[in-house]
Structure 1
């Protein structure tokens, strides 16, 4: 029986994810029922802790398999039928040895041999059918869970992803859900197979000889104990190998990614990185050798046990207590049955560990499904006519506090941005500008107050509607590893090439794309590495243009760029903003000056509001920020 426990990080429940948690190395498999290995499946402390923290109701697990009741009942019937049919072979063998061969009864011999072959063929075919049905059920359950978790995570707010490592999400979607198939195709079916095989075999052994059956009860326990003891050595080596392999994989991911190579080269850390990799690889070599030796001990032990038990059976059969009472055929049939009961018994000893490991998988998966989203979909979303939306944004008495924080990131903000006008948000780093802007795009919901578009509370609109009404351009541009056309059509899957070129023209990057040998079919590379930062930003702007939203949120879209690139990008943003309601976070003085309104934030509160001229005349916080910004721009211009 195989224990399937896969690499999975500590859980992130509804309350959040522990950022200090680390990825767990994949845990090794246990013994196999019905003919596999004999590794002891010990209960993993992390699995036990997982279930103690997040218990799993059996009814919820069964609910997943309810649509597949018919196939599962068929699998159960096949398992029982196969186990019972497999027991016919020893009795047929006894008939051959005790009757057909001594009497030279060719007809009976042919019948018995034919029946033995028929049993083998039938049980093999039933085994194939069982595997196919169980695998089909497992794949379908896995597909259902995978899509449900993916869709649920897509509905999570940005705060969920800022506190959760991407590797944890990936592990949950791939490793943990992938392990669900084994629950059906291996764990559950192996338990059923082992139980039926042990019961049927025990009955058959008693029917053949109760004396030898009693002797088997004395011999098997120490044999099983010795086998598990030796297998423990191999398991420990395997676990250490998996941990070191996880370290090696992590070093490859970090050291040979685009960002990792750049960091190594610029920090001169190549030798140190290579030395760490070599050390980990050397540990793997040592562990592999020790594991191979432990495996040899395991195989030697198994060989001794499988040779010793039949020999002892033959010895006991010749003792006075049983002498003369057993036929040769009965003895051989019993030895065959006795040998076949060893494996399923080993498997049944692992049931507890398998059960807890399987339930821990469900617990981790349900943990994500039960994670409540901070930005939920409305039960009955309001339908709006996009053509009738003017674009007025109202931020009414809004507070926002990050989970776990004791202070508000935004407090008592009350702003109105008339349709088609612009608002600039300025302030020191950490003053709440990006947090406030993110609520306009409903990446977060206010802790108190409302954000509305033309009077519609964003919480009453579907996510698709909000995304259709509000376009966002941030400093962090994300381009998928595909062509330029692929990246643009994320915004409008049905957009024609003419529409793509028009959006590129507005973003002022059409000439660059047209000069490329493959044009729109140019692959942008991992995270858009084929293009410079400014070019990536303009491609992102072109993507927003395709959606043609009435409201724009520009979150420091021109920061960290050189003057020349910033001017080209700002021209693209100006073109994009024309006729739209625009909320801008920027440090560029010209952008701030042109805004219809400027809100100065400090510790999440609006401390000044007005036009550039009004705020300069007040000689307050804005005037000081504007003066500092002007000095910075002059310095940058002087060094450009």
Structure 2
């Protein structure tokens, strides 16, 4: 509940006018609906009594008919305006909320605390954020309307018959209680089962689609298909239980509405017998008793989603909390100065860096010091798992050390604005993300305003110009998912072209030629060296060829950095790959 209230408070804080304006406007169609039923009942009864009295009672239908038309118009127009305002505010809020959620997801991934598969985590996050549109539209708005309008109606009817008013209030309160219980622990557990079943289906279908070739080759296709079908059946069972719960809620509310009419009619009739009200007011009470449960029906239709929204709010709030530090930091960085790279001064400086993936885990970096003068080329080598890639990630602010200081151009990394950091430093490595888009759009990720001439220049420096020119659509050539249409080396060089467009002062290369054959690796290295001439370079490597032209070589082992003399000894060379 706290998480749900927190999300609602954030919406109210970001969209106060639309939030409160939407609530107020939501009262108009609800009040108009009840007034329409009440006036209609009164009109029908008064007209009938006037007819039965053979002229003894004179009743003007003009005022009543005008009121009915007015309330009908208010109901239709008020509902339309309320939907426009509340939905617009909700969608704008969700758009902003996604930024915070994805920031938290990135922070959690960066800290190594996420155990979900990326596809599952992304699908869950998208589903959770979409689910939260119901907090305002299907919870706050109808619940506020039901509570306030019921209270106002009972106060007005109290003057006619206190007993009938109490009966209406008691039955309405009972309905709210039933709906509140529908979001209890049992329903939350059911919602968790639903999420688990959906995740299982996504994972198994994803494995079936992505691994269909190997499954076919090794005879596991049928087994995986049956596993996916089993997940479908489990999801169907959980969804059926949820639908039964929702139908049960609606049946209870419908039954209570009938009970409300009967009880109200009895008390109103008793009040008439005691001379406390006129005969036509009995119909007024009966029709109001018919209209009030409509407020609960809108709640009943979404009551089955309350537990889902509550669970989604818990997970979203957790992600928002994970991303709060980086968000607050980003706000603090907005006025930071750009780093200055002067010859002879350190472009990059690390002091007493300590890093461990979890508080209980052993530190993989302990007391690391490193200084890279402007224009220098430094290569870090070491055994697999020593923490070389982690060190590169810390420099790029993709990981946060538990202790120590990182400075870029004399500015603390934690005080450097995001845009200024990314303009000063870029990372290229073995994991190259090529998007399902055109070559031009893949390049303009680095610089949105880059002209076609800029793109061709970057491709030329990366050694890809001739390849792209040979394609029929050239820069508009569409690449498949994961860079389908390019070889591994071509994808690596496209990443270099993207980095070149940023023209950073500091280049961090993490296993740049890993997984490439000797000839392709030499081509990629040649492009990299040409691009980084005169720049500050930090390379993480296992290959002897990547150490050429290095000013310094450092060995990372047992959490410490040790500089080795050049030329390299045979002992150090034996640790490297000849290819």
Q: CA RMSD in A?
A: 4.7
Distance 1:299 1:218, change over 3 A: closer
Distance 1:274 1:121, change over 3 A: same
1:424 partnered with 2:379: yes
1:535 partnered with 2:490: yes
Q: Which of the residues 354, 379, 383 maps onto 2:338?
A: 383
Deviation at residue 58 of structure 1 after TM alignment: 8.9
Q: Which of the residues 85, 91, 108 maps onto 1:133?
A: 85
Deviation at residue 255 of structure 1 after TM alignment: 2.9
**Structure 2 match to 1:90:** 41
Question: Superposition pairs for residues 125-274 of structure 1, below 5 Å?
Answer: 125-150=77-102, 152-153=103-104, 156=107, 159-160=110-111, 163=114, 165=116, 166=118, 170=122, 174-203=126-155, 244-256=197-209, 259-261=210-212, 264-265=215-216, 268-274=219-225
Q: Which of the residues 348, 355, 358 maps onto 1:401?
A: 355
SS across alignment from 1:97: helix
Distance 1:223 1:359, change over 3 A: closer
1:570 partnered with 2:520: no
- For residues 156-177 of structure 1, the C-alpha deviation after alignment (integer angstroms, 9 at most, x for no partner) is 4862366364468646864444
CA distance in 1, matches of 2:175, 2:352: 71
**Structure 2 match to 1:16:** none
Deviation at residue 496 of structure 1 after TM alignment: 2.0
CA distance in 2, matches of 1:286, 1:169: 23
SS across alignment from 1:399: strand
- For residues 344-390 of structure 1, the C-alpha deviation after alignment (integer angstroms, 9 at most, x for no partner) is 4678899999999878766654544443547945644223467x677
Given the two structures, how large is their TM-score scaled by the length of structure 2? Answer: 0.79
SS across alignment from 1:411: strand
CA distance in 1, matches of 2:424, 2:433: 20
Larger mean CA deviation between 105-114 and 467-476 belongs to: 105-114
CA distance in 1, matches of 2:534, 2:437: 32
SS across alignment from 1:526: coil
Structure 2: any 5+ residue segments left out of the alignment?
Answer: none
1:625 partnered with 2:575: yes
Q: Which of the residues 470, 476, 483 maps onto 2:438?
A: 483
CA distance in 1, matches of 2:373, 2:366: 22
Given the two structures, how large is their TM-score scaled by the length of structure 1? Answer: 0.73
CA distance in 1, matches of 2:197, 2:26: 40
Deviation at residue 113 of structure 1 after TM alignment: 3.4
SS across alignment from 1:528: coil
Larger mean CA deviation between 470-479 and 173-182 belongs to: 173-182
CA distance in 1, matches of 2:235, 2:9: 43
Distance 1:144 1:99, change over 3 A: farther
CA distance in 2, matches of 1:74, 1:229: 27
**Structure 2 match to 1:512:** 467
Deviation at residue 236 of structure 1 after TM alignment: 10
**Structure 1 match to 2:290:** 339
SS across alignment from 2:380: strand
SS across alignment from 1:583: strand
Contact 1:138 1:182 in 2 (8 A): no
CA distance in 1, matches of 2:391, 2:177: 64
SS across alignment from 1:493: coil
CA distance in 1, matches of 2:401, 2:271: 88
Contact 1:470 1:553 in 2 (8 A): yes
Q: How many residues are matched?
A: 569
**Structure 2 match to 1:601:** 556
CA distance in 2, matches of 1:78, 1:321: 31
Distance 1:544 1:174, change over 3 A: same
**Structure 2 match to 1:546:** 501
Contact 2:154 2:169 in 1 (8 A): no
Question: Superposition pairs for residues 556-567 of structure 1, below 5 Å?
Answer: 556-567=511-522
Deviation at residue 538 of structure 1 after TM alignment: 1.1
1:586 partnered with 2:541: yes
- For residues 182-227 of structure 1, the C-alpha deviation after alignment (integer angstroms, 9 at most, x for no partner) is 3333322212221233234435655555666677689889999999
SS across alignment from 2:574: helix
Question: Superposition pairs for residues 268-417 of structure 1, below 5 Å?
Answer: 268-283=219-234, 322=273, 329-344=280-295, 364-371=315-322, 372-373=324-325, 376-377=329-330, 379=333, 380-384=335-339, 392-405=346-359, 406-417=361-372
Contact 1:555 1:584 in 2 (8 A): yes
